[in-house]
Amino acid sequence: MDLAFVIILGGLWGSFANVCIYRLPQEKGVVSGRSYCPKCNKKIVWYDNIPIVSFFLLGFKCRRCKKPISPQYIIVEIINIISFALIYYFFGISLTTIFLMMLGLSFLIIFFIDLKHFIIPNELTYSMMLIGFLKSFDPNLNYLFPNYVDSLVGGLFGYGVIWSIILFYKQIRNKEGMGLGDAKLLAVIGFWFGWISIPFVLFFSSVFALIWVTPSLIKKSKKLTSQIPFGPYLILASILFFVSKDTLLDIAII
């Protein structure tokens, strides 16, 4: 597989990710109908829908209504291209590469949907749970992936931890503290990376969230009870765990 092909593939799937990010929160089909401008609702012709290239050729504006195109579209495409290229660089042509590209694409979609809408689509979490568990039966996959027992325990552990936090917080404060979408996402991480990933991901995601929200607390633009999307922090923490697994485990043992 040539790197140029991977880059093109990353751009195309990044464009598909944008469709999912826009349509899934509205419960619209992601494969039904051509893409259209969210400002004027006019369908976008194929030559105006080339990843990254069209964005610059159009001058960052819709050809029909001349309204600005959100920079999110090109950001998502660039992130996915980088993600696909890095995965291919480190794992080559392999099942591990295919699985990681699928997971990376799903994480990208969840990241931006949760960031804006505070929801994590079940279509993504359920499918990634299933794939994460089924892949664990293949003994030839990269050692970074757990076996099926570790995967199952990880999925149940991940879901159970956040479910317990939700239940405890509701008993104490009589209101929801986190959403079940976060529990399902942590279950995905557990199914993919095993139970050992859960403590690390919970710790680092909490640290990331605290770092991000602290300035807002100081400025009093947010309160401790303000709603924040926790999914993006879980995703960032899981990526950190994946790329630093050996180092993190060595530190924990010490």
Q: What is the DSSP string of 155-206?
A: HHHHHHHHHHHHHHHHHHHSS-SS-HHHHHHHHHHHHHH-TTHHHHHHHHHH
**pLDDT per residue as tens digits for the range 183-228:** 999 999 999 999 999 999 999 999 999 998 888 777 776 665 667 8
**Where exactly are the structural domains of the chain?**
1-93, 121-254
Written as six digits, the tokens of 210 are 């605290």
Residues 6+ apart with CB under 8 A from 241: 193, 197, 200, 201, 204, 248
For residue 214, what are the CA distances in angstroms to 16, 165, 209?
Answer: 34, 22, 8
Phi, psi of 253 (to 5 degrees): -70, -40
Q: What is the pLDDT of residue 185?
A: 97
For residue 81, what are the CA distances in angstroms to 11, 12, 88, 217?
Answer: 5, 9, 11, 35
| pLDDT tops 60 at residue 254 | no
What's 230's DSSP letter? -
**pLDDT per residue as tens digits for the range 40-83:** 878 888 777 888 888 888 888 888 888 888 899 999 999 999 99
- Please state whether the predicted TM-score (pTM) of the whole model is above 0.85: yes
What's 143's DSSP letter? T
For residue 205, what are the CA distances in angstroms to 28, 36, 51, 208?
Answer: 30, 35, 31, 5
Mean pLDDT check: name the lowest of 26-30, 76-80, 175-179, 192-196: 175-179
User: What's the mean pLDDT when you consider all of the chain?
Assistant: 88
